[in-house]
Amino acid sequence: MSAAAPDAAAGGTLAGYNFAYLDEDTKRMIRRALLKAVAVPGHQVPFGSREMPLPYGWGTGGIQVTASVIGPDDTLKVIDQGADDTTNAVSIRRFFARVAGVATTERTAEATVIQTRHRIPETPLREGQILVYQVPMPEPLFRLEPRVAETRRLHALGDYGLMHVKLYEDIARRGEVEISYNYPVMVNGRYLMSPSPIPAFDNPKMDRMPALQLFGAGREKRIYAVPPYTSVRSLDFEDHPFRPARADAACALCGSRETYLDEVVTDDHGGRRFLCSDTDYCGERTAER
């Protein structure tokens, strides 16, 4: 195990911990996995997920990926369901501030590394930015084929008929595909991938995104990636094309009709408001008005 790295950004790191918490060998192992993942877009790469100071299911995969790629000059943004101010986003942001001493921000445009749970920021990302997704279940075929050995074979052979059958069944039963989040995508025309539980509405943002997209699943011990400008297509049928869905309403704060909205219940009498889920974007728009 490596010694604690004394150099850190202004503010200093926690004594007794390596920069960004993980030891250098672990970072090297994770970076190797990331390189493999980037080389084969959408393909799940196993990695030695480490014990982290928070339980499985709370973002350990995303944190390990961020810890492996973040450097002292980076600026980190962390969002949870689009918001910077939820408990988990705050905790993770503070964690990295302490163990890496990096600058943090709530402005998407100012961040170099963005760790996210369940949303892609509304502000379009640019080259040089890294988006790190927290992934609970990396296997898109999980509910259709529970056997891991079999799903690995299906991915290796590119045999994805099973998923198309699921889409067919949805359309036959309900007239439309019923998947509203974690909508399966085809990456680079080769691998079927779970985009993580982001709303289907966000899927189009992934297609040819200029930023690097990294995915970490800590409990399942898998890493995958989508390099910049890679094709990401949501599965559909020619006569039932994919349609990103959002609530048919405007944000109560900024008035946007293009962003993904959270529905907030305001009282016991059925009152509700729709608000942008992306707090940074909403705040910017409101400020401009």
Q: Which is nearer to other proteins, 18 or 203 (CB)?
A: 203
282 catalytic residue (yes or no): yes
Q: Which of 161, 268, 287, 288 binds other proteins (CB under 8 A)?
A: 161
Q: Which of 3, 87, 173, 287 binds other proteins (CB under 8 A)?
A: 173
User: Exposed (0-12), middle (13-18) or buried (19+): which is 103, by Cβ within 10 Å?
Assistant: middle
Q: How far is the CB of 198 from other proteins (least distance, A)?
A: 24
Consecutive H or E run containing 266: none
Single out the segment in contact with other proteins by CB under 8 A; choices: 12-20, 161-169, 187-195, 254-262. Answer: 161-169
Axis-axis angle for helices 60-69, 24-39 (nearest 10): 100
Single out the segment in contact with other proteins by CB under 8 A; choices: 42-50, 91-99, 118-126, 232-240. Answer: 232-240
Alpha-carbon distance of 61 to 48, in angstroms, equals 10
276 catalytic residue (yes or no): yes
62 catalytic residue (yes or no): no
Told to check if 233 binds other proteins by CB under 8 A, we report: no
Single out the segment in contact with other proteins by CB under 8 A; choices: 29-37, 158-166, 179-187, 221-229. Answer: 158-166
Token pair 């962390």 is found at 78
Catalytic residue among 59, 101, 216, 282: 282
Which of these, 269, 264, 116, 256, lies nearest to 196 by C-alpha position? 116
Told to check if 142 binds other proteins by CB under 8 A, we report: no
Q: How far is the CB of 242 from other proteins (least distance, A)?
A: 12
Token reading at 232: 């990401």
254 catalytic residue (yes or no): yes
175 catalytic residue (yes or no): no
DSSP-H helix ranges across the chain: 24-39, 60-69, 87-100, 148-157, 161-174, 203-206, 279-288
Q: What is the largest CA-CA distance in the chain?
A: 61
Q: How far is the CB of 183 from other proteins (least distance, A)?
A: 16
Told to check if 257 binds other proteins by CB under 8 A, we report: no
